[in-house]
Amino acid sequence: MTLESSLRAHVERLAGEIGERHVGRPAALHEAARYIRGAFAAAGFDVSAQAYETRGVRCENLEVTLPGSGKGGIVLLGAHYDTVPGSPGADDNASGVAGLIEISRALRAAPLQRTVKLVAFVNEENPFFRLGEMGSQVYAAAAQRRGEDIRVMFSLEMLGCYTDAPRSQTYPPMLRWIYPSRGNFIAFVSNLGSGVQLAQALAAFRAVSDFPAQGLAGPSFIPGLGRSDHRSFWRVGYAGVMVTDTAFHRYAHYHLPTDTPDRLCYPKMACVVEGLAGTVAELASCR
């Protein structure tokens, strides 16, 4: 299978067949976890589960590890596999999970000095985003307690929407005067404290891919800047960067029943995922 067809297959399984997946539909949430576990296993990985219970439902973060040969710390990639109620979540966030799985496959035999960890997180969406018990919060807090040397966390948050249509891209106030008006790029965004890691990632991506990419390191109060799992890592002192197609600033089907697999642009998504795999390989080389 090509990368494009593999990404499409993951999204169609998660969003097309399983559909909305959250603690209100525990059978679907568990089926999504089983699918992700199986996809990682098929790529040759042992999968570790970090389980916890919320609202009477057993929930799991699913992790695979690519050990590095040196002591350069950890590069961590994550993507959430739950959805909001009422949406099948093709772009949000089956696209991120599909990218996570295929990046793991691409890096399986790569010579790495830094350890790379890839984690499929549960419970990113509300009410957990507002009230706690996000899978990434549980994971980041445990990592901090263990003293894990996570150099940077990348949150893969919606990777599937790209368009060359004029004025297809919106922004928070003021940013529209700085960034492109066409939604044909992938964005790297972070708080000011993660600005160095964002710059390194953006430079690495541009070195391995000619796909359009933009970066923003700004104050965390900018709307949307901390709106995913990377915020859980900021809270405990780790650097975190979100990689995104900018969600509701571009994608008309955000959090709607119409966020279906047929809405995504798989050829461009494949270019982004290939570039991200190369980016992680570069960052994990410690050069």
pLDDT one-digit tens code per residue, 175-217: 878 899 999 999 999 999 999 999 999 999 999 999 999 999 9
Per-residue pLDDT for 93 more than 80?
A: yes
Nearest-angstrom CA–CA distance, 186 and 170: 14
Backbone angles phi, psi at 266, to 5 degrees: -70, -35
Per-residue pLDDT for 67 more than 60?
A: yes
Nearest-angstrom CA–CA distance, 37 and 19: 17
Q: What are the pLDDT digits (tens) for 261-279?
A: 999 999 999 999 999 999 9
Q: What is the pLDDT of residue 1?
A: 85
Distance set, CA 210 to CA 111, 185, 205, 235, 275 (Å): 23, 11, 8, 33, 8
Per-residue pLDDT for 132 more than 80?
A: no
Instruction: List, in order, residues 6 or more apart from 60 with CB less than 8 Å away.
Output: 33, 49, 50, 51, 122, 135
| Of the candidates 131, 6, 134, the residue with the CA atom closest to the CA atom of residue 81 | 134
Q: Is the dihedral of CA 118, 93, 130, 247 positive or negative?
A: positive
Mean of the per-residue pLDDT values of the chain: 96
Nearest-angstrom CA–CA distance, 90 and 262: 9
Q: What confidence tier does 131 reach under pLDDT thresholds 50, 70, 90?
A: confident
pTM over 0.85: yes
Residue range of the domain that includes 61: 3-283
| Of the candidates 123, 118, 50, 52, the residue with the CA atom closest to the CA atom of residue 83 | 123
Per-residue pLDDT for 287 more than 60?
A: no
Q: What is the pLDDT of residue 70?
A: 86
Inter-residue contact 54 to 29 (CB < 8 Å): no
Q: What's the number of domains the chain is made of? A: 1
Which contiguous run of DSSP H or E holds residue 187? Answer: strand 186-191
Q: What are the pLDDT digits (tens) for 5-28?
A: 999 999 999 999 999 999 999 999
Q: What is the pLDDT of residue 226?
A: 86
Inter-residue contact 113 to 72 (CB < 8 Å): yes
CATH number at residue 116: 3.40.630.10
Backbone angles phi, psi at 62, to 5 degrees: -115, 125
Q: What is the pLDDT of residue 286?
A: 61
% residues pLDDT > 70 (the chain)? 99
